């Protein structure tokens, strides 16, 4: 048999039919939905008089518009509340399991599904949300879809898809202190750009990936979409299996052992070839920070800002000028030491227990300056409970940070947690697009360590100085 | 879905690379239950000032581009969020055709599902079109999907490609769901075969 990549195996397992001139019909094992991208899909079903084909394969959560202050639905604005209520009605009408606001399982879709053991190796996983790539950390083919496709999956459990090309990114070496998976992925985005992997599924390989926890792999896969990739993958290994063992939706007992045998066949075969390859040595990386208005506009935290005039006249130079102007930054100057207004520690990229522990390790015994606002937003109720059991909430509060309820929060600024025009934030989220964290807000993306360093100094800081 | 066969229209140029869907429709406008009414918010943060007044410098506010159904965009248009609100907003703002050098994958998919045709042009032609438009903003192009050709005044007509299935859906104004539903027996067969295979291995 020919050697196959992990992607190829996942793809072939899920092809329902292929015909010339038509995209393949791909079967979806797990469909996740949330309040923002699902109402029109259910409305479509209703208009056509269709049912949900496999209600047990769809799981719903509330995360984007949910408040991160206590009070539940009562403190959500009318439009957000209407969406949340519509999700509840739709789930009831069509028999879809929903983990609503306040439920012990509730959380950001890409945090709660893995921690419940829903996301498993060998699956196809989709959600009307581009960061569905997160679940690729388990060796699942996981990708974001639009609302029309949400409707297709609800009605048929299938999608029409064309096969992607494959792209291996190999991370080797041992990272220096202060450097971790968020820095790896920001470095990759900076290296290949925001369209560097368009049309491709990335597979992250190499010794540095094997060393990562599942949380770290999720951080990495989460941002695959930020370099344009359709999905990101990490082959499952013992770390994956240990993570899954005993989780509520993971197979149990003999079924788990049988699943293990199947999962162990998933990794890319020796000799399989990729359409593209890239190697990065993580031992050469510094903590990364973005300075611009897309995730590819990043550099080592201690690097000077780029100078547009170093580039020939053309779109690259114009983009640099436009970004630096929006960000209110001076070409060539250092970013280090720049005062910031807000620090956001959260989002589906970096709101898991490991992320919060990292941030806490820097904030322990230090104080947030009074002019700086620091939000720590756990990714799920479970993360919140775990963090509180360890006393992390007390530690954050003692430092002067706000310890909030779970949700997407200031990653997308739909729930009232937002930057004011002109404010600067260091954020552990995944997008620094203009206005993403609030109209006119300016975002520097970095790791939980880098965000914590900014929190306790009130400035862009190289966390290595605080370790 | 509205069908698209042949469109003759003026062209509005938005020549910025890596335009993300947060710009096309900012997140604060996503709290809706249907697909309509988003056109007025399309590019809201580039189009209006802090008081909500239209900025004369932004292309969608310029009288000479009013009524354009074709938008000339830069590279990697539609990157970022998978929100289908982006094509809904573009459609609401009157656009049916996007001409660019590349499109982000999810956005491209979403556009096609809403009767918007993304056409990928080579860089040289893209540049030439941009230059001609700068000199002659009233220039009208014809996009002929029947023949897969772009007709530019004073140029030989330019072929473009679109996969046959997407082209069929656009020409007929049908979406993919009908195709999928018609294949329900294949889906049932796949489910049964896979379940049997997994059961033989001892896993659910
Ligand atoms: S945390 Fe941000 S990126 Fe993640 S799902 Fe929520 S809004 Fe999307």
Question: CATH no. for residue B162?
Answer: 3.20.19.10
User: Does the beta carbon of A352 lie inside 6 Å of ligand 1?
Assistant: no
Same domain, B41 and B138: yes
Distance A263 CA to ligand 1 centre (A): 28
Comparing alpha-carbon positions, the chain A residue that sits nearest to B193 is A16
Express each pLDDT in A394-431 by its tens digit: 999 999 999 999 999 999 999 999 999 999 999 999 99
- How confident is the model at residue A122, as a pLDDT? 98
Distance A35 CA to ligand 1 centre (A): 12
Q: What total number of domains does chain B contain? A: 2
| Residue B113 touches partner A, C-beta closer than 8 Å | yes
Is B76 close to A228, i.e. CB distance below 8 A? yes
- Walking along chain B (204 residues) 10 residues at a time, the average pLDDT comes out as 96 97 97 96 96 95 95 98 98 98 97 97 96 95 97 94 95 95 97 95 80
* Inside any domain, residue B1: no
Residues of B in contact with A125 (CB under 8 A): none
User: Does the beta carbon of A417 lie inside 6 Å of ligand 1?
Assistant: no
User: Under DSSP, is residue B144 helix (H, G, I), strand (E, B) or coil?
Assistant: strand
* Inside any domain, residue B111: yes
Sheet with strand A442-445: strands edge to edge:
A402-403, A373-376, A342-345, A424-427, A442-445
**Residue A114: in which H helix or E strand, if any?**
helix A109-115
* Inside any domain, residue B188: yes
- How many A/B residue pairs have CB atoms within 8 Å? 186
User: Under DSSP, is residue A280 helix (H, G, I), strand (E, B) or coil?
Assistant: strand
User: Does A188 have pLDDT greater than 90?
Assistant: yes
User: What is the average per-residue pLDDT within A146-153?
Assistant: 98
Report the percent of chain A where pLDDT is more than 70.
100
Q: Name the residue of A219, A226, A347 to mutate for ligand 1: max ligand atoms within 8 A of Cβ.
A: A347
User: What is the average per-residue pLDDT within A265-271?
Assistant: 97
User: What is the average per-residue pLDDT within A347-376?
Assistant: 98
Same domain, B202 and B149: no
Is B35 close to A17, i.e. CB distance below 8 A? no
Cα distances (Å, whole numbers) of residue A173 to A184, A309, A410: 12, 35, 34
Cα–Cα distance for residue pair A247/A118, rounded to 1 Å? 8
Look up residue A140 and give its DSSP letter. -
User: Does A1 have pLDDT greater than 90?
Assistant: no
> How far, rounded to the nearest angstrom, does the alpha carbon of residue B120 sit from its chain's CA centroid?
11
User: Under DSSP, is residue B105 helix (H, G, I), strand (E, B) or coil?
Assistant: helix
- How confident is the model at residue A314, as a pLDDT? 86
User: Does A170 have pLDDT greater than 80?
Assistant: yes
Comparing alpha-carbon positions, the chain B residue that sits nearest to A80 is B31
In ligand 1, which atom is closest to the CA atom of A34?
A: 5
**Residue A81: in which H helix or E strand, if any?**
helix A78-94
Give CA torsion, residues A410, A416, A419, A421, to 10 deg. 150
Same domain, B183 and B163: no
Cα–Cα distance for residue pair B79/A294, rounded to 1 Å? 10
Same domain, B102 and B196: no
Same domain, B161 and B198: no
Give CA torsion, residues A36, A38, A41, A46, to 10 deg. -110
User: What is the average per-residue pLDDT within A300-327?
Assistant: 95
Is A254 close to B75, i.e. CB distance below 8 A? no
Residues 152-191 of B with CB under 8 A from A: 163-165, 175-177, 179-181, 183-184, 186-187, 190-191
* Inside any domain, residue B41: yes
* Inside any domain, residue B200: yes
Strands (E), chain B: 6-14, 70-73, 97-100, 117-120, 140-144, 149-151, 158-159
* Inside any domain, residue B18: yes
Same domain, B161 and B199: no
Same domain, B84 and B184: no
Look up residue A242 and give its DSSP letter. H
* Inside any domain, residue B157: yes
Same domain, B185 and B161: no
Distance B198 CA to ligand 1 centre (A): 34
Same domain, B131 and B200: no
> Which of A76, A121, A160 to probe by mutation at the B interface, max B CB count within 10 Å?
A160
Integer distance in angstroms from the first to the last C-alpha of chain B?
A: 39
Domain containing B196: what range?
174-204
Cα–Cα distance for residue pair A183/B94, rounded to 1 Å? 41
Is B187 close to A43, i.e. CB distance below 8 A? no
Is B23 close to A80, i.e. CB distance below 8 A? no
- How confident is the model at residue B1, as a pLDDT? 87
Same domain, B55 and B118: yes
**Residue A203: in which H helix or E strand, if any?**
strand A200-205
User: Does the beta carbon of A430 lie inside 6 Å of ligand 1?
Assistant: yes
Same domain, B159 and B195: no
Same domain, B178 and B116: no
Distance A36 CA to ligand 1 centre (A): 11
Distance A221 CA to ligand 1 centre (A): 14
């Amino acid at each position: 048999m020919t050697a196959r990549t992990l992607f190829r195996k996942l793809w072939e397992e899920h092809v329902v039919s292929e015909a010339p001139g038509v995209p393949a019909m791909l079967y979806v094992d797990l469909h996740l939905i949330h309040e923002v991208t699902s109402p029109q899909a259910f409305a479509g079903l209703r208009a056509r008089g269709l049912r949900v084909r496999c209600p047990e394969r769809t799981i719903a959560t509330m995360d984007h518009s949910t408040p991160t202050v206590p009070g539940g639905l009562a403190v959500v604005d009318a439009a957000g509340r209407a969406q949340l209520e519509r999700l509840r009605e739709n789930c009831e009408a069509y028999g879809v399991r929903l983990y609503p606001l306040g439920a012990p399982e509730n959380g950001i879709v890409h945090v709660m599904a893995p921690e419940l053991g829903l996301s498993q190796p060998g699956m196809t996983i989709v959600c009307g949300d581009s960061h569905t790539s997160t679940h690729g950390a388990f060796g699942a083919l996981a990708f974001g879809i639009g609302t029309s496709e949400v409707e297709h999956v609800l009605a048929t459990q299938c999608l029409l898809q064309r096969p992607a090309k494959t792209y291996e990114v190999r991370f080797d070496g041992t990272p220096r202190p202060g450097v971790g998976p968020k820095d790896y992925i920001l470095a990759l985005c900076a290296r290949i750009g925001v369209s560097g992997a368009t049309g491709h599924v990335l597979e992250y390989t190499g010794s540095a990936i094997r060393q990562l926890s599942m949380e770290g792999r999720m951080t990495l896969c989460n941002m695959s979409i930020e370099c344009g990739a359709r999905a990101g993958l990490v082959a499952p290994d013992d770390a994956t299996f240990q993570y899954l063992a005993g989780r509520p939706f993971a197979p149990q007992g003999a079924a788990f052992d049988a699943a293990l045998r199947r999962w162990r066949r998933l990794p890319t075969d020796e000799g399989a070839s990729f359409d593209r390859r890239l190697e990065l040595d993580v031992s050469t990386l510094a903590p990364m920070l973005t300075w611009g208005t897309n995730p590819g506009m990043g550099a080592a935290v201690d690097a000077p800002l780029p100078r547009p005039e170093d580039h020939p006249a053309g779109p690259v130079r114009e983009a640099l000028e436009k970004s630096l102007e929006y960000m209110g930054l001076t070409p060539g100057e250092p970013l280090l030491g720049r005062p910031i207004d807000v620090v956001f520690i959260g989002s589906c990229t970096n709101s898991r227990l490991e992320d919060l522990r990292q941030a806490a390790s820097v904030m322990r015994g230090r104080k947030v300056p009074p002019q700086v606002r620091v939000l720590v937003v756990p990714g799920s109720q479970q993360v919140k409970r775990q963090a509180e059991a360890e006393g992390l909430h007390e530690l954050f509060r003692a430092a002067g940070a706000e310890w909030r309820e779970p949700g997407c929060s200031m990653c997308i600024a739909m729930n009232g947690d937002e930057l004011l025009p002109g404010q600067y934030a260091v954020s552990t989220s995944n997008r620094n697009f203009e206005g993403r964290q609030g109209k006119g807000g300016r975002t520097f993306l970095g790791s939980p360590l880098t965000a914590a360093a900014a929190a306790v100094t009130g400035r862009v800081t190289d966390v290595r100085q605080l370790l | 879905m509205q069908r698209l066969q042949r469109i003759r229209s003026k062209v509005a140029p938005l020549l910025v690379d890596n335009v993300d869907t947060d710009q096309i429709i900012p997140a604060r406008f996503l709290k809706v239950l249907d697909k309509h009414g988003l056109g007025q918010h399309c590019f809201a943060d580039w189009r209006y000032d802090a008081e909500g007044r239209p900025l004369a410098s932004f292309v969608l506010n310029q009288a000479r581009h009013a009524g354009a159904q074709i938008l000339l965009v830069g590279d990697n248009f539609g990157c970022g969020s998978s929100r289908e609100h982006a094509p809904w907003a573009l459609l609401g703002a009157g656009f049916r055709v996007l001409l660019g050098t590349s499109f982000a994958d999810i956005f491209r998919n979403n556009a096609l599902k809403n009767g918007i045709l993304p056409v990928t042009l080579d860089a040289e032609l893209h540049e030439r079109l941009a230059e001609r438009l700068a000199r002659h903003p009233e220039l009208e192009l014809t996009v002929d999907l029947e023949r897969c050709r772009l007709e530019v005044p004073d140029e030989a007509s330019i072929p473009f490609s679109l996969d046959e299935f997407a082209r069929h859906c656009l020409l007929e104004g049908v979406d993919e769901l009908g195709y999928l539903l018609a294949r329900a027996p294949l889906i049932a067969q796949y489910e049964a075969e896979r379940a049997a295979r997994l059961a033989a291995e001892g896993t659910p």
